[in-house]
Amino acid sequence: MKFLKEHLRHSYEWTSGLNHSIQNNEPDRRIFDRFNGYQVLFIINHFGKSLGKLTFTDGARIEELISTQLPLEVKSELSVFNWLRGVYLYN
- pLDDT tens for residues 61-90? 999 999 999 999 999 999 999 999 999 877
Q: The domain containing residue 27 runs over which residues?
A: 5-90
Three-state DSSP string of the chain: CCCCHHHCCCCCECCHHHHHHCCCCCCCCCECCCCEHHHHHHHHHHHHHHHCCCCHHHHHHHHHHHHHHCCCCCCEHHHHHHHHHHHHHHC
Q: Give per-residue pLDDT as tens, 4-52.
A: 999 999 999 997 655 545 556 889 999 999 999 999 999 999 999 998 9
**Number of domains within the chain:** 1
Closest CA to 8 of 44, 49, 53, 46: 44
